[in-house]
Amino acid sequence: MAPQIREAAGQARHEPIGVGVIGLGFMGRTHVQAYAKADAAGWANRLVAVCDSDPERRAGRAGGAGNLEGEAPEQVFDPEGVLASEEADDLLSVDEVDLVSICTHTDSHVDLALRALAAGKHVLVEKPVALLADDIARLAAAAGEAGTLCMPAHCMRFWPAWEWLRERVNDGSLGVVRGATFRRLGSRPAWAAGFYDDPARSGGALVDLHIHDADFVRWCFGDPCAVSSAGTVDHLSTLYRFDGGPAHVTAEGGWDNAPGWGFRMQATVVFEQATADFDIGRTPQLELLRRDGVEPIELPDTDGYDGEVRHLLECIATGEGELRVDLEDARALALLLEAERQSLESGATVPL
CATH number, domain of 311, equals 3.40.50.720
Same domain, 196 and 60: no
Lowest-confidence pick of 59-68, 283-292, 339-348: 59-68
Same domain, 287 and 189: yes
* Residues 268/276, Cβ–Cβ less than 8 Å: yes
For residue 192, name the pLDDT band (cuts at 50, 70, 90).
confident
What is d(CA 213, CA 252) in angstroms, rounded to the nearest whole number?
A: 8
Lowest-confidence pick of 8-22, 177-191, 237-251: 8-22
Q: CATH number of the domain that 223 lies in? A: 3.30.360.10
What is d(CA 144, CA 314) in angstroms, rounded to the nearest whole number?
A: 20
What is d(CA 231, CA 340) in angstroms, rounded to the nearest whole number?
A: 10
Burial class (CB in 10 A: 0-12, 13-18, 19+), 329: buried
**Does 108 map to a domain?**
yes
**Does 11 map to a domain?**
no
**Does 10 map to a domain?**
no
Alpha-helical (H) ranges within 273-326 are 304-318
**Does 94 map to a domain?**
yes
Residue closest to 173 by CA, chosen among 279, 324, 251, 288: 288
For residue 10, name the pLDDT band (cuts at 50, 70, 90).
very low
Kindly state the average pLDDT of the residues 207-223: 98
Residue closest to 62 by CA, chosen among 52, 51, 77, 46: 77
CB under 8 Å to 247, separation ≥6 — which residues?
178, 179
Q: Which three-class secondary structure state does DSSP give residue 321? A: coil
CA distance readout (Å), 280 to 104, 257, 290: 26, 18, 21
Same domain, 207 and 341: yes
Same domain, 179 and 107: no
pLDDT in tens, 137-175: 999 999 999 999 999 999 999 999 999 999 999 999 999
Same domain, 145 and 191: no
* Residues 316/17, Cβ–Cβ less than 8 Å: yes
Q: On the CB side of 174, how many CA atoms lie within 13 Å of its CA? A: 22
Same domain, 240 and 272: yes
What is d(CA 322, CA 237) in angstroms, rounded to the nearest whole number?
A: 33
Cβ density class 16-39: b for 16+ within 10 Å, e for less: bbbbbbbbbbbbbbbbbbbbbbbb
**Does 328 map to a domain?**
no
| Per-residue DSSP letter, 188 | -
Same domain, 70 and 209: no
Same domain, 257 and 110: no
Same domain, 124 and 223: no
Report the relative pairing of strands 248-254 and 235-241 from DSSP bridges: antiparallel
CB under 8 Å to 64, separation ≥6 — which residues?
24, 25, 26, 27, 28, 29, 72, 191
Same domain, 136 and 241: no
Same domain, 58 and 118: yes
For residue 274, name the pLDDT band (cuts at 50, 70, 90).
very high
* Residues 190/302, Cβ–Cβ less than 8 Å: no
**Does 298 map to a domain?**
yes
pLDDT in tens, 128-138: 999 999 999 99
Alpha-helical (H) ranges within the chain are 26-40, 55-58, 88-92, 109-118, 133-145, 160-171, 193-196, 199-202, 204-208, 211-221, 304-318, 327-346
* Residues 38/309, Cβ–Cβ less than 8 Å: yes
Domain that holds residue 45: 17-154+306-321
Q: Is the pTM of this model over 0.85?
A: yes
What is d(CA 3, CA 157) in angstroms, rounded to the nearest whole number?
A: 19
- Is 244 a residue whose pLDDT tops 70? yes
For residue 72, name the pLDDT band (cuts at 50, 70, 90).
low
What is d(CA 57, CA 63) in angstroms, rounded to the nearest whole number?
A: 6
Cβ density class 230-267: b for 16+ within 10 Å, e for less: ebebbbbbbbbbeeebbeebbbbbbbeeeeeeebbbbb
Domain count, the chain: 2
Same domain, 248 and 341: yes
